[in-house]
Homo-oligomer: A and B are copies of this chain.
């Protein structure tokens, strides 16, 4: 995800062996996690492996624009609302979510289950929306969070329609095991992907947690490019995933049509 090399002036003064100042500043943002959304300057230095004096300077730049801000009561550093405002314009989050949310809400109203929307980013799925059902099973995922592609229903739907090199790389593994049901055999995974392409639906049966089944379908835009996948996650014992297949497939078609 870079411009052609010719567009970056070689030996530009701000570029160092560890990347440009801007890239080093942006990498600092990766130190924040859902578990640790606020950090002190010294924690930022430690977590990012950056000297404290450099952290001071980079954080000053990021705060000047509003990418970071201070919690007024604790004085700790956190991701700023300004960054969230700008990031809410990301088309793969914003226009996709706007097209999908009414459909996701209808599916949740009918099923009372968790309904999720995800996109592929590299070799992982990023969950961009979730409507929580009243009767909802425990999930390991969160909106804005990443997860491995192969064990999730959404990931299987995305991977089945990903470019060949992505499929090859992911299938070559290693494939992490989450439950006794997680598919870790590349041959079996390839067969599952072929089945997803044939049937139009991806079912992940207790592969992430041993009590949940996910039924997912790929979302294509009008030029038949895959843009996302949608899933309903139900309890393995009582959820009757087979009944959900037509609903999930229809929801994926509705979202694709709404994408315009």
Contacts and interface: CB of A to CB of B under 8 A. Distances in A.
A92 B69 CA distance: 10
A29 interface: yes
A92 B85 contact: no
A21 B21 contact: yes
A7 B56 contact: yes
Contacts of A128: 81, 84
A37 B94 contact: yes
A243 B136 CA distance: 32
Interface stretch (A57-65, A166-174, A176-184, A204-212): A57-65
Given A29-B86, A79-B87, A88-B84, A94 B22 contact: no
A73 interface: yes
Given A37-B95, A57-B12, A65-B27, A81 B90 contact: yes
Contact of A79 (B27, B33, B91): B91
Contacts of A251: none
A20 to B, nearest CB: 5
A51 interface: no
Interface residues of A, number: 73
A83 B79 contact: no
B143 A69 contact: no
A33 B81 CA distance: 16
A203 to B, nearest CB: 26
B91 A60 contact: no
Interface in A81-128: 81-95, 101-102, 119, 121, 126, 128
Contacts of A7: 56-57, 59-60
A30 interface: yes
Name the 3 nearest CB pairs between A and B, nearest first.
A88-B144, A87-B87, A22-B61
Interface in A17-37: 19-23, 25-27, 29-30, 32-34, 37
B9 A14 contact: no
A1 interface: yes
A216 interface: no
